[in-house]
A and B are shown apart, each in its own frame.
Chain A
Amino acid sequence: MMNTPQQVKNPSSSLKSRFITRFLGALTKINAEDPISSPSPTRIFQRYRRIKVASNKSMAYSVRSRRIWSRAMLSRFRSRRSAFSGRRSSVKTTNCTTINVTINENKTAKGGLDMQTDELRELVPGGEAMDVCNLLDETAHYIKCLTTQVQVMRKIVDFCHLSK
């Protein structure tokens, strides 16, 4: 873990550091297990899958359980690992369904908004069970994390290009 002295550090920069450390560690591992210089298309595809999962996992683990979306993602990973797991993610659904019904009945702009959120709910991990406020808040954080992922991955790609 990064042990830089934290004065008034931006919390998102330490999230970024955690992500970088984890993701680079995962990449090193993936590379070490597959050190063929000209692998077959199948191997490359498998590697692509592993890298993508590593990227999403690294971000989710870096956020830990501080966010609904990260918790949903982490429990998804865990239930994938154990094939016999019958446990779904323990997201509170009861309260939120009530709110959704309430908003649907309300004929204000909020009512229309709720229909629009269906699409968003599918894109944000754990979105199905969130109330509108949480959904919007979680979406903002999720987007920030995705852009960090993309930013870091781009830099790694550039670095790999340069060092060839």
Chain B
Amino acid sequence: MSSRRSRSRQSGASRITDDQIIDLVSKLQQLIPELRGRRPDKVSASKVLQETCNYIRSLHREVDGLSDRLSQLLASTDTDSDQAAIIRSLLM
């Protein structure tokens, strides 16, 4: 097994260990609302990946929907003068 890995000489990621992957997968799990509260050892990596894909897609859809709403709202809003107020309230 190790001989196969040494075939791939990478400077950045020379040996991808199972632990690294487990680490990264559980880090990802924490970002997904569906799986956040559950214990990492109870959730399989493939479940995390599946939910990640679903979550990214739902985020894309949200950006879509919000762009749509903004396109209709902007018509009647003067963002120029309110810009400073918006920035301030958003950053609080």
Which A residues are closer than 8 A to B by beta carbons?
A: 13, 16-17, 20-21, 24, 27-28, 30-32, 36-39, 44-45, 47-49, 51-52, 55-56, 95, 98-99, 102-103, 105-106, 108-110, 112-113, 116-117, 119-120, 123-124, 131-134, 136-137, 139-140, 142-144, 146-147, 149-150, 152-157, 159-161, 163-164
Known: A52-B63, A137-B24. Is A153-B70 also a contact (CB below 8 A)? Answer: yes
Interface size class of B (residues with CB under 8 A): 35 or more
Say if the beta carbon of B59 comes within 8 Å of chain A. yes
Taking each of A55, A123, A154, which has the highest tally of chain B beta carbons within 10 Å of its own beta carbon?
A123
Contact A113 B91 (CB under 8 A): no
Say if the beta carbon of B45 comes within 8 Å of chain A. yes
Say if the beta carbon of B4 comes within 8 Å of chain A. yes
Contact B20 A17 (CB under 8 A): no
Taking each of B27, B55, B70, which has the highest tally of chain A beta carbons within 10 Å of its own beta carbon?
B70
